Structure 1
Amino acid sequence: MDQPTLITVAQQTTIEQTIKKSRFIATIAPISSEVAANQVINEVKSSLPKATHHVYAYVLGDHNEITRQSDDGEPSGTAASPVLNVITNDNLHNVIIIVTRFFGGIKLGAGGLIRAYGSSASLVVNQAPRLQRQSLTAYQISLNYDQAEPLMNWLTERVVNIDHVDYGAAVTLTLLLESSDDTFETDLMNQTNGRAQILETMPTTAWIPYQSKN
C-alpha cells in the first residue's frame, strides 16, 4: 500500500505582527515526538520570558494520531483552536506552531483573538519552506571513472537526488528517482553505450522540496 503524501516544514521559522498594540510572534518547527515538541515550547518560553501568553498546537503521526493544544490563559477556543485549524487545513504533519503574545493594553474580544492567532499561524506557515514525503526508487549503479565525470551533469538533471557516491575500483552511485520513472534504465544505457552496471534497485521514501499542485 502506498504511503500517504505527507507535508511538513523544512526548518524552524518565526514571524511577527502587531495588532492593536499587541505583539504576536509565531514560530513553526518540524517535530518528531512529543519530547521534541516540548523542547521547542521551552525554548520559545525561555527566549521570550516576559510574554503574556504562549499559545501552541501541534500534530504528530502520518494520520495526526497525536494532537495537542494549549490556550495558555486565553479564553477557550479563541487561540489554540485557530492555530490548530491552520495546521490541519494546510495538511501539515509533524509540526508545532507557537504563537506568543505580548499584551498591548487593548482587548481584542473573542473574534479579534481568533483572527489574530489564526492570521499569525497562517503567516508563519506561508513563510516556512516545506517538504513532502515521496515514494521513490533507489538505484545503485556502477560506472568506470572515465564515464562518471561526463555523466554527472546529466544525472544531476535526470534524477531526484544523488544520495551517495563511493569511489572505489569503480564509481558507485546511489540515485533516487520517482517511482513512476520507467525510462531511466534505457536512458542510462543510451548515455553510457551500455557500459553502466545497475547493481540494485529498491523502493524507498525521502523528503523532498514541496511541489504544489496548484
Structure 2
Amino acid sequence: MRYPIPAGVHREKDEIERSRFITTVAPAATIDEAQAFIQSIRDEFPDATHNCWAYVVGPPGSTARIGLSDDGEPHGTAGRPMLTALLHGGVGDVAAVVTRYYGGIKLGTGGLVRAYGGCLQRALETLPRGERVEWVAVQALVSYADVTPVRQLVAAHRGEILHEEYGADVTYTVRLPAPDVEPFVAALRDATRGAAIVERP
C-alpha cells in the first residue's frame, strides 16, 4: 500500500481578528507518534491560549485511528473541523496542532470553526508531501559470479541491501517496496538462470 504523507514538519501562521493562529502539521505513523508530536507543540507553546489538535493514522480518509481535542475551546469548534480538514486533505499518517493566542475579540462558534478548519486547510495546501511505502524484506542466496547483477537489480527495483554475508555463496538481506518484490524475484531468477534461492526471513 502506498499513499501520500507529510514529508516533514510544516508550519503556517495566520492572524484572524487579532488572534494569532500557528498551524503545525507533521507525519505520524502511529498514535504514539501523533501524541508525542502534540506534546512537543504544547512544550513549544506553553503560554498559548489553546493548542487544539487532530490526527489521522493510516491511509488518507481512514477513520480507524483518529483523535481530536478542542483544548478548552467550545465543544466541536476546533478539533472536529480540524479532523474534517485532515480526512479530506488527501494525506495519511498525519497529525496537526493549531495553536491560538487570543487577541481580545471573540470569534463565536461559527468563526472558530472557520478559523481552525481554514487554518489547517491552508497548511495542507502548502504541505510538502512524501510517500508511505510498505517495505518487505527478502533473503537471496547467490553465487559470487552473480554479485554484480544482484546489486544492479536491487537498485533497479528501488531496494536497499540491509546485510550481506559471505560464505560458500553470498547471502543478501534486501528490503524492497512491496509492489517490487515479485518483479525483483523474477528478474533475479532470470539473471542467475534459476540458481538464486530467494526466501522471506
Q: Is TM-score (shorter-chain normalized) higher than 0.5?
A: yes
Match of 1:25 in 2: 22
Match of 1:174 in 2: 174
Match of 2:159 in 1: 161
Task: Give secondary structure in 2 for the equivalent of 1:74.
Answer: coil
Q: Is the 8 A contact 1:28 1:95 kept in 2?
A: yes
- Give the drift of 1:5: 6.7
- Give the drift of 1:48: 0.9
Counterpart AA for 2:78: A
Q: Is the 8 A contact 2:11 2:23 kept in 1?
A: yes
Counterpart AA for 2:124: V
Match of 1:206 in 2: none
For residues 111 and 143 of structure 1, what CA distance do their matches in structure 2 show? 65
Q: CA RMSD in A?
A: 3.4
In structure 1, stretches of 5+ residues that fail to align are: 203-214
Task: Give secondary structure in 2 for the equivalent of 1:81.
Answer: helix
For residues 182 and 60 of structure 1, what CA distance do their matches in structure 2 show? 28
For residues 33 and 136 of structure 2, what CA distance do their matches in structure 1 show? 30
Structure 1, residues 146-168: CA drift from partner, whole Å, max 9, x if none? Answer: 532455244312x2422523132
For residues 33 and 48 of structure 2, what CA distance do their matches in structure 1 show? 22
Counterpart AA for 1:70: S
Match of 1:16 in 2: 13
Match of 1:84 in 2: 83
Structure 1, residues 5-57: CA drift from partner, whole Å, max 9, x if none? Answer: 77654544333233343221122331523x55443333212211221111112
2:45 corresponds to 1:45: no
Q: Is the 8 A contact 1:137 1:179 kept in 2?
A: no
Structure 1, residues 161-180: CA drift from partner, whole Å, max 9, x if none? Answer: 22523132225232425448
Note the 1:135-154 alignment, pairs <5 A: 138-149=137-148, 151-154=150-153
> Cα–Cα, structure 1 residues 176 and 14, in superposed 2: closer, same or farther, change >3 Å?
same
> Cα–Cα, structure 1 residues 21 and 147, in superposed 2: closer, same or farther, change >3 Å?
farther
Counterpart AA for 1:57: A
Counterpart AA for 1:88: L
Q: Is the 8 A contact 2:153 2:188 kept in 1?
A: no
In structure 2, stretches of 5+ residues that fail to align are: none
Number of residue-to-residue matches in the alignment: 195
